[in-house]
Structure 1
């Protein structure tokens, strides 16, 4: 997009980006146009005109590719290519890293422009108005208030505008690039939370699987585009970048296949795959995905080995064709939004199923909570990843002959397995439907699971199993940079950390935020992630064994713990005394099949919040006591060593001072 010739033989890449854009957009537009008559008949709306019919899938597919290019470019600048020599926290990007970062920024800004254009296009598409009518200022408010897709595009455009603008003006240091990478990933989050997957039965499965699908698509497609650009401008260390990317690509391919199957299975019966247009489009997308897997095999067996001899042309040529297939796949996927789906598997959905994605048939009990299950694709999958990753770390420790305390393994596995089981058990199932169960899940995510996880010391494990390599910074240096980052150091100030931990409790339930968040699946996802991350940061500082950017003494941490616990306990008292029912309208619309006193259920939730505050105290105080003993032993050992080195000069000076004081008194 912004690459220029840096030396003889180097080639610009923006024409390829434009070609990828056109392949994706035209594919989506042609398929959508072919289903136009059927779509209008199903929706019962007039024809919005050729600009909307062709322009919406064209721009939507192009926007997805631009988002992928932004993610891949920042991924390349962050982790596929090393910065200049020196301290990685202050190291500036190389010329190639700077070009990749600028490409990611420009791609985000162009996405923002398309996102704004998509607001009236979406309104035109769903209402049948012509684009000239939908683009009028008065209709923008209609679109943003009544059309979820239009609102999602505007939010994505705002995120892209912030990421792209900030990335262009920020210092060209390596430390900023992971920040922009996270921001670029967030650009597409609103899109993953809207559309067919976010509506109807099982939409919790649809939304969560789509989010995983979109994340790995961005990394896979975007990373490959960044590698193509680097190879065409004859950038150095292409072999290193490809080696790092290959693991991402393999993981992405598997994750996309699994998440794609789940997403299709909840919307289409098997027989519909070959008898409906919607099913045939899914089959076409599946075939293209298998073709991409063949390209991956081709790279591993033929093109990547030739990089060792300095011959990058075969890899780049095959990668260009691969991205063309990827672009066509994105175009096919985009056309699903305009293709009439087959009849749903369950036609008569209850208000509860429409709201939550599934039905609850009986009142929860202590027994039933642990005997009913529904796999949580987001957090149970996360728990499985955490478990597998830690076990692999233990395997690497054994290979290196490094000792590792069994207690750390116990705590980590307890935390990751608890996360996986809790969110797929009745706790996760009843959480959206009852305030008391919401509070059980809230307390587990913020005050139980984080306590277990931080005692597992995962970052210390990574630092132990990876070798430092300042010349080609890798995982070891990345973790060190994260630990020593200014942002983390700020968060680890005792006052800041305590405030962030307590603020979420009060802001969420005292303000109208809870009423807004609890109504949507996206709101539950955001709350759960905030609970988990906030608790992890708090207890990492309080009792974690991992290295920290700011080491506070045990007594200081204990003082802040004693200060924060009463504030947290009062939060439970506040809920129990509250006479107003939080999110009352939402809970009443669910139509639970058993009698429930919402105010009493809220009082129970307050009691759970109050009582659960005492649970981590046992573990936290125990961990702090052990750390205090260790700190005291280290101080005593340091004093003894100093005394040996100075022949007890400190003790002699102290005795002389006492003697002088005694003489003066006499």
Structure 2
């Protein structure tokens, strides 16, 4: 686990390019939170760790190693990348025509449909189900090209989910944070269902693992049970930082709205305007439209 390393050239090149572009964009900003830079670079480092460490050396030998790799690429690395607010940085540093095009795309129907809550839920939940409940898993073991594409799609799917849920960057939709909580609960249920299927179900890719003639480590059934636990419990544990970030973001948005309401009330008081009659929520700018009397 310590000495087994390999070099995934495509992954390392992509990570280096993204790191250079991000740092160059940061240098052009007069102010940029260092925490965002640290988060984004940590996400890139996580991708290198998953694709070059023992997790890459043994990902076709042990089922549980592949499970760890997939969870990190779907849940951990994308969350760190999203916390780096790369889209905000891109909008601040890209040429004006590029920014205008991105904003037009973000306001379009396709982008809004792609970021609909049910779509992003499927974006996070579907990849593990497709990998482990279809022949795709065995293909990733036997084809390096398929394996690389699946890794890329895992990172993109995870980033799409966390980008739209944390809303640190501009998003096509402004959904309530409560929607993210319900999506997280649905993801926990699906993780448990997949874990049970892999724990109690038949062995995956038995011909591949039998051909290895491995005489060390856990036997195939135990190996798959460990991997099922990784996907079940590990997936939920990997989602805890997201829940924490979501709660922090939710609290900050509430504080911002409270300041806006206080400022509006202060302006009305200074202008000598008396608040209109009715219950308090009928005078709250954030709730008036929803609860106004017909």
TM-score, normalization by structure 1: 0.40
Decide whether aligned partners of structure 1 residues 649 and 506 sit closer, same or farther in structure 2, where only a CA change above 3 A counts. farther
Decide whether aligned partners of structure 1 residues 384 and 615 sit closer, same or farther in structure 2, where only a CA change above 3 A counts. farther
Alpha-carbon displacement from aligned partner over 1:521-547 (angstroms, at most 9, x marks no partner): 122112212211111111111214111
SS at match of 1:378: helix
Alpha-carbon displacement from aligned partner over 1:369-408 (angstroms, at most 9, x marks no partner): x3221110122222222222211111111xxx2x111211
Q: Partners in 2 of 1:498 and 1:413 — Cα distance?
A: 26
- RMSD of the TM alignment (CA)? 2.4
What residue is the counterpart of 2:288 in the other structure? none
Q: Partners in 2 of 1:650 and 1:564 — Cα distance?
A: 48
Q: Which one has a bigger Cα radius of gyration?
A: 1
Shift of 1:483: 3.1
User: Of 244, 247, 252, which aligns to 1:625?
Assistant: 247
1:27-426 superposed matches below 5 A: 368=1, 370-397=2-29, 401=30, 403-426=31-54
What residue is the counterpart of 1:653 in the other structure? 277
User: Of 154, 157, 160, which aligns to 1:534?
Assistant: 157
Give unpaired runs (5+ residues) of structure 2. 283-294
What residue is the counterpart of 2:109 in the other structure? 486
What residue is the counterpart of 1:510 in the other structure? 133
Decide whether aligned partners of structure 1 residues 652 and 612 sit closer, same or farther in structure 2, where only a CA change above 3 A counts. same
Alpha-carbon displacement from aligned partner over 1:277-314 (angstroms, at most 9, x marks no partner): xxxxxxxxxxxxxxxxxxxxxxxxxxxxxxxxxxxxxx
Q: Partners in 2 of 1:442 and 1:528 — Cα distance?
A: 7
Q: Partners in 2 of 1:575 and 1:394 — Cα distance?
A: 44
Shift of 1:421: 2.4
SS at match of 1:537: helix
SS at match of 1:640: helix
User: Of 69, 81, 99, which aligns to 1:476?
Assistant: 99
Shift of 1:657: 12
What residue is the counterpart of 2:70 in the other structure? 442
Q: Partners in 2 of 1:587 and 1:656 — Cα distance?
A: 66
Any runs of at least 4 consecutive aligned residues in structure 1 with deviations exceeding 6 A, and if so which?
655-658
Q: Partners in 2 of 1:657 and 1:417 — Cα distance?
A: 47
What residue is the counterpart of 1:455 in the other structure? 83
In the alignment, is the contact (CA less than 8 A) between 2:139 and 2:147 conserved in 1? no
Give the count of matched residue pairs. Answer: 280
In the alignment, is the contact (CA less than 8 A) between 1:443 and 1:609 conserved in 2? yes
SS at match of 1:497: helix
What residue is the counterpart of 1:25 in the other structure? none
Would you say 1:585 and 2:207 are equivalent positions?
yes
User: Of 146, 155, 170, which aligns to 1:523?
Assistant: 146
Higher RCO by CA contacts (8 Å cutoff, separation 6 or greater): 2
Q: Partners in 2 of 1:466 and 1:387 — Cα distance?
A: 16
Shift of 1:652: 4.3
Would you say 1:606 and 2:234 are equivalent positions?
no
Decide whether aligned partners of structure 1 residues 634 and 591 sit closer, same or farther in structure 2, where only a CA change above 3 A counts. same
Decide whether aligned partners of structure 1 residues 426 and 417 sit closer, same or farther in structure 2, where only a CA change above 3 A counts. same
Q: Partners in 2 of 1:381 and 1:481 — Cα distance?
A: 30
In the alignment, is the contact (CA less than 8 A) between 1:409 and 1:456 conserved in 2? yes
In the alignment, is the contact (CA less than 8 A) between 1:384 and 1:417 conserved in 2? no
Decide whether aligned partners of structure 1 residues 640 and 567 sit closer, same or farther in structure 2, where only a CA change above 3 A counts. same
Shift of 1:482: 4.2
1:538-553 superposed matches below 5 A: 538-553=161-176
In the alignment, is the contact (CA less than 8 A) between 2:123 and 2:158 conserved in 1? no
Decide whether aligned partners of structure 1 residues 634 and 405 sit closer, same or farther in structure 2, where only a CA change above 3 A counts. same
SS at match of 1:582: coil
What residue is the counterpart of 1:557 in the other structure? 180
Alpha-carbon displacement from aligned partner over 1:214-266 (angstroms, at most 9, x marks no partner): xxxxxxxxxxxxxxxxxxxxxxxxxxxxxxxxxxxxxxxxxxxxxxxxxxxxx
What residue is the counterpart of 1:427 in the other structure? 55
Would you say 1:571 and 2:194 are equivalent positions?
yes
TM-score, normalization by structure 2: 0.87
SS at match of 2:213: coil
User: Of 216, 219, 228, which aligns to 1:597?
Assistant: 219
